[in-house]
Amino acid sequence: MLAEAFELGRPIEPLAPYCFGSHENWTLGTMAGRFLVTRLWTGPDAPWRPELERAMEFERRACQAGIDMPRPIAPRTAAFGDAARVHGFGVFRIHEWVDHRPLGVDDDIAAWLGSTLARLHRLVPLDAPPQPRWYGLFPAQRWNAWLAEGEARGMAWAPSLRDRLPDILEVSHWIADAFAKAGRYVVTHRDVQPANVLMSASGPVLVDWDSAGPDSAPLETVESVLAFASLGRSEPDAATVRRALAAYATGGHPIGAGRDLVARRVGLHLHRLTERLEGTLGGVDQRTAEPAQVEVLARQDLEEFPGLLATLTRWSDLLGA
């Protein structure tokens, strides 16, 4: 039924489970080739469908622009975007399969990274600043509510949150201000991380486009470059940072320097912390760890927060090197 829904020709091998991203995935071999099958959900449409549909549209534009990525397959009859509903089984997407291996520590992709980010950021410029997604920005009332509930329930992280809350609120104001000043808002991938780059015979391939949406181009660039430059290292490799930013500038977008440019990386840490607080309080489905483990991780995040800020401030010096 899947092969028919996406007009892939006669299957020549059964679906084989494949772990990839946050959804159920399989590989499928047909007369037309090999494909990656993704089930988005099984029941009624998820509340995040509109956001996913917008992400699919950007993914199609990126593919048409020649970004190194697996090609999404359009179904015969779309439920929305590139997704098809297969009766009794759920809503699916399919991409061309890419033979690959994971990105390794010794793979030098700095130039590819900078030029790919520059190309992505030219596709859909925005006239107005969007809401900063995944920057961990919440009003003081929300943080105080987490603290009150955490203390009432004796959460292991509650004392650390009380100690760190003034710093968190101060840093949140800085992140919001840095995002407002950063400018150059675009629709982009938003998750250009080492785990989402695969090495194929022809070079790097960027995958997992479901999170695509609006962001600040310079803040995404710096966060991604630091993530790749830190792969397998305790500190980012300065040469990798220089080469990636030089390639980005060649694409027409010099980054500059300054502490504000690491705001997205700090914000991602705050976002992860808030997910863990919510998870231990029962507000979020934590599928990757036991609640007690998430509670300990949240406490560690809070205890390590001052050191994180100091480290990232030091890393920001690499941007102007």
Whether residue 256 lies inside any domain: the answer is yes
Q: How large is the average pLDDT for residues 51-71? A: 97
C-alpha radius of gyration, the chain, whole number: 21
**8 A C-beta contact, residue 303 and residue 224:** no
Paired tokens of 309: 């800020």
Work out the pLDDT band at 19, boundaries 50, 70, 90.
confident
pLDDT over threshold 90, residue 88: no
Judgement on whether residues 292 and 170 belong to the same structural domain of the protein: yes
pLDDT tens column, 102-137: 999 999 999 999 999 999 999 999 999 999 999 999
Whether residue 103 lies inside any domain: the answer is no
Amino acid at 170: E
Work out the pLDDT band at 44, boundaries 50, 70, 90.
confident
pLDDT tens column, 239-283: 999 999 999 999 988 998 999 999 999 999 999 999 999 999 986
Judgement on whether residues 126 and 93 belong to the same structural domain of the protein: no
Whether residue 133 lies inside any domain: the answer is yes
Q: Looking at residue 248, which CATH number applies to its domain?
A: 3.90.1200.10
How far is C-alpha 47 from the chain's CA centre?
A: 19
Judgement on whether residues 93 and 114 belong to the same structural domain of the protein: no
Range of the domain at 239: 110-320
pLDDT tens column, 29-42: 999 999 999 999 99
97, 126, 143 — which closes off a domain?
A: 97
Judgement on whether residues 205 and 305 belong to the same structural domain of the protein: yes
Whether residue 191 lies inside any domain: the answer is yes
Judgement on whether residues 252 and 303 belong to the same structural domain of the protein: yes
43, 73, 97 — which closes off a domain?
A: 97
Work out the pLDDT band at 297, boundaries 50, 70, 90.
very high
Whether residue 231 lies inside any domain: the answer is yes
> What is the reported pLDDT for 21?
59
Whether residue 221 lies inside any domain: the answer is yes
What is the rounded average pLDDT for all residues in the chain? Answer: 94
pTM for the full model? 0.94
Judgement on whether residues 125 and 253 belong to the same structural domain of the protein: yes
**8 A C-beta contact, residue 58 and residue 187:** yes
Which DSSP category does 25 fall into?
E
Paired tokens of 146: 């987490």
Judgement on whether residues 80 and 143 belong to the same structural domain of the protein: no
> What is the reported pLDDT for 287?
52
37, 62, 97 — which closes off a domain?
A: 97
Which DSSP category does 135 fall into?
S
Judgement on whether residues 166 and 315 belong to the same structural domain of the protein: yes
Judgement on whether residues 90 and 133 belong to the same structural domain of the protein: no
Judgement on whether residues 157 and 76 belong to the same structural domain of the protein: no
pLDDT tens column, 124-182: 999 999 999 999 999 999 999 999 999 999 999 999 999 999 999 999 999 999 999 99
Q: How large is the average pLDDT for residues 218-235? A: 97
pLDDT above 90 coverage of the chain, percent: 88
Instruction: Say how many domains are in the chain.
Output: 2
Whether residue 18 lies inside any domain: the answer is yes
Whether residue 105 lies inside any domain: the answer is no
Amino acid at 262: V
**8 A C-beta contact, residue 57 and residue 81:** yes
pLDDT over threshold 60, residue 286: no
Q: Looking at residue 12, which CATH number applies to its domain?
A: 3.30.200.20
For residues 228, 268, 80, 61, the Cα torsion angle rounded to the nearest 10 degrees is: -40
The C-alpha atoms of residue 87 and residue 65 are separated, in whole angstroms, by 33
H or E element at residue 285: none
Judgement on whether residues 93 and 136 belong to the same structural domain of the protein: no
The C-alpha atoms of residue 60 and residue 62 are separated, in whole angstroms, by 5
Work out the pLDDT band at 20, boundaries 50, 70, 90.
low
Q: Sign of the C-alpha dihedral, residues 287, 293, 299, 304?
A: negative
Judgement on whether residues 86 and 146 belong to the same structural domain of the protein: no
